[in-house]
Amino acid sequence: MNTRSITVTLLVFLIVISGCNPYKQDNYKQQYVVESYLVEGTTLPPLALSTTTPVDQKYSISDAGVGNADVQIQLLDDAGNVQKRYDYFMYAKGLYLPKNNTDTVKSLRKYHLRVVIPDSRDTLEATAIVPKAFHFINNPPDSVIYQSGDGISLDMTQSYYPGRQTEYIASAVAEGELDSLRLTPFYSDVYSRSNDNQLSDYQINNSNIINEGNFTVKSDGTINIQYPWIGIAYYGENSLVINAIDDNVYDFVRSQSVQTGGNTLPPGQIQNAIMHVKGGIGVFGAMATDTVRVYIKRNPNL
């Protein structure tokens, strides 16, 4: 699994969740939903375009996908003028790909999305700023014994995002064939107690949003992360992914987590998920990312 596929998989949950608003279902109104994530250093991303569905209907991209839309991503200069345009084509209903995908997403640059819906001429627009690129500078050992020490030590250069401290999401992605015998003790217990969980539910184990203030800044300006053991669901080969996220991803994830259980407010007081899309809902987000691989060995003392 490459870095792009890992990063996109981390956040591809928006369309299904956004298919309904449980707090305003009595006043349901169909909306357009867009989802795409710019990843620094990679080619331009695919884009999903659909409509919402009522809460009592099962979401399906084949049914809800919007076809034949005019999709364009624009690279803006410092003054906000269009420096370059990237046109997209419909690969399948609801899924769009760039026509010429040779340029890579640039660090600390601003990109603007413009989608024109056929027939209605409705327009969706959003803007994203790409966080500064960063990279790991010392890979962890090829193998690490589970729960030996405080965590897996990772050193990396610092990212940057204009106007605020950098926010991150960390993920451990289990590689290879999934097997219940590979589960670490906590997740093995959770899995054995569940009647409906699947092994794939633990393959990508995401953290909450982590502020850069939680990392140790070293004398040379690099930062150190102690990747916590609770984030490791499987023994064996794992990819550890760190994503620096833009405001669009940050606002959606933090506000969406409140709606899905991370709060003590009654439903009528829970704010809607924050989505910076004009003319619809969804996320046109950006991130910088890097990945290291490590083999997690069993601890004979556990």
DSSP strands (E only) in 55-122: 70-76, 82-92, 95-98, 110-116
Q: Look-up: residue for tokens 């790909």?
A: 97
The answer to whether residue 239 sits within a structural domain is yes
The answer to whether residue 218 sits within a structural domain is yes
The answer to whether residue 68 sits within a structural domain is yes
Q: CA-CA-CA-CA torsion for 57, 58, 62, 68, nearest 10 degrees?
A: 50
The answer to whether residue 254 sits within a structural domain is yes
124 and 142 both lie in a single domain: no
- What is the 3-state composition of the chain as percent helix, strand, coil, each rounded to the nearest 5? 20, 40, 45
147 and 93 both lie in a single domain: no
pLDDT of residue 259: 54
Q: Which two tokens stand for residue 169?
A: 């999401």
The answer to whether residue 201 sits within a structural domain is yes
The answer to whether residue 196 sits within a structural domain is yes
Beta strand pairing call for 32-39 and 47-51: antiparallel
pTM, two decimal places = 0.87
210 and 249 both lie in a single domain: no
The answer to whether residue 302 sits within a structural domain is no
64 and 197 both lie in a single domain: no
The answer to whether residue 165 sits within a structural domain is yes
pLDDT of residue 23: 43
Q: How many CB atoms sit inside 10 A of residue 294's CB?
A: 20
122 and 13 both lie in a single domain: yes
pLDDT of residue 6: 43
42 and 128 both lie in a single domain: yes
Can you give the residue range of the structural domain that contains 108? 3-132+245-288
CA gap 68, 90 in Å, rounded: 6
69 and 190 both lie in a single domain: no
Contacts of 1 (CB under 8 A, 6+ apart): 9, 173, 175, 239
Tens-digit pLDDT string for the chain (302 aa): 444 444 444 444 444 444 444 444 557 788 999 999 999 999 999 999 999 988 778 877 888 899 999 999 999 999 999 999 999 999 999 999 999 888 999 999 999 999 999 888 899 999 999 999 999 997 778 899 999 988 999 999 999 999 999 999 999 999 999 999 999 999 999 999 998 899 999 999 999 999 999 999 999 999 999 999 999 999 999 999 999 999 999 999 998 765 555 444 455 444 578 899 999 999 999 999 999 999 999 999 88
- Which run of H or of E encompasses 26? none
Domains: count for the chain: 2
